[in-house]
Amino acid sequence: MTLPELWFVLIAVLWAGYFVLEGFDFGVGMLLAGLSRDEVDRRVVLNTIGPVWDGNEVWVLVAGGATFAAFPDWYASLFSGFYLPLLLVLVALIVRGVAFEYRGKVDSASWRRRWDLCIVWGSLLPSVLWGVAFANLVRGVPMTAEGEFDGSLLGLLNPYALLGGLTTCTLFLLHGALFLALRTTGGVRERAHRAAAALGPVAAALAVAFLGWTQALRGSAATLALAAVAAAALVAGLVAQRARREGWAFALTAVTLVAAVATLFVALFPDVMPSSTDPAGTLSIAGAASSGYTLEVMTRVAAFGTPLVLLYQGWTYWVFRRRIGRGSIPAPVALPAQRRPETAPEQVG
């Protein structure tokens, strides 16, 4: 395996890790309003991801940075071609992060309700757009012979890409519901089980349709085997959920997401950005890679730093592994009330 191929695999691993980890906290964010009956329930739901959501986002930052350093031509074409969808994802992630930090700063139901809406929409938008972006990447986008994107936003919203967006969104919802069932007690846990039972068949149908379409577009024996693994893991996860084996169900949906991401990257290989209009514009792994020296330095840094990051993140999950219920939520502390606009003094005379 050459160094460019190694980094293509490592970038696929980073995206798989991101979809597994950020996937469940996107799902929890989208389910915040639907599974909560009052403010205590909402605090239970948010506390399940409170200690880990920002650490999960590190994976997408590293994936983007690795793409920039290892494949600068791919990074340039990707971020110029998908500029608007990626900008929307960035804005959604920022608003969502601000909402986590600010919803508890003022003692006002309307204040918290607005930030909760930001969390729901800030989780929904990236869940759909990541699927749209990856589906377009596999399908191919209009590229000139010079390797420049030559399409429009509407062109990215084709039926295959929209199916990809719906698939990632429902898989993240299911993954998040199973995470809540695993990490909570009481009413939230029961509602999470019911949500997972309802979402499971929909997610399975969409995933089979999307991976089947991917197989028809750029399939091979390897992608067929990976898609079969994804489907089998999803079905086994739904069986485990019905048996109330939450840990197994969550682990199996994680396997589904890893196998689905692997299917997309194997379908893409040996290209990184195929052109749907001019084959001369297709970017390949070899053509888009940085110099051998750059990749060698990156490999040494990754070999040293990656285990440390994994150990730290694993320790975080271990520390916050216990279930959370309404009894785990402390009484609210005194907070400033939402300030009302001052009225102008009445005119005298």
- pLDDT tens string for the chain (349 positions)? 889 899 999 999 999 999 999 999 999 999 998 888 888 889 999 999 988 888 888 888 888 888 998 898 888 888 888 888 889 999 999 999 999 888 888 888 888 899 999 999 999 999 999 999 999 988 888 888 777 777 777 788 899 999 999 999 999 999 999 999 999 988 899 999 999 999 999 999 999 999 999 988 888 899 999 999 999 999 999 999 999 899 999 999 999 999 999 999 999 888 888 888 877 778 888 888 888 888 999 899 888 888 888 898 888 888 888 888 888 777 766 666 655 555 555 444 3
Closest by Cα among 95, 89, 137 to 288: 137
Q: What is the pLDDT of residue 340?
A: 56
Closest by Cα among 276, 283, 282 to 71: 283
Backbone φ, ψ for residue 51 (5° rounding): -80, -10
Backbone φ, ψ for residue 272 (5° rounding): -115, -25
CA distances from 237 to 224, 225, 248, 253, 280 (A): 20, 18, 7, 6, 43
- The answer to whether 331 and 43 have CB atoms below 8 angstroms apart is no
Q: Which amino acid is at 249?
A: A
Buried b (16+ CB within 10 A) or exposed e, 205-235: ebbbebbebbbeebbeeebeebbebbbebbe
CA distances from 287 to 72, 74, 114, 279 (A): 10, 9, 47, 13
Q: What is the pLDDT of residue 349?
A: 37
Q: What is the pLDDT of residue 288?
A: 83
Backbone φ, ψ for residue 271 (5° rounding): -95, 165
* Two tokens, residue 61: 């930052």
Note the pTM of the prediction, 2 decimals. 0.90
Paired residues of 273 in beta bridges: 283
- The answer to whether 69 and 298 have CB atoms below 8 angstroms apart is yes
Q: Which residues contact 279 (CB under 8 A, 6 or more apart)?
A: none
Residue 332 has, within 13 A of its CA and on its CB side, a CA count of 14
Q: Is 275 helix (H, G, I), strand (E, B) or coil?
A: strand
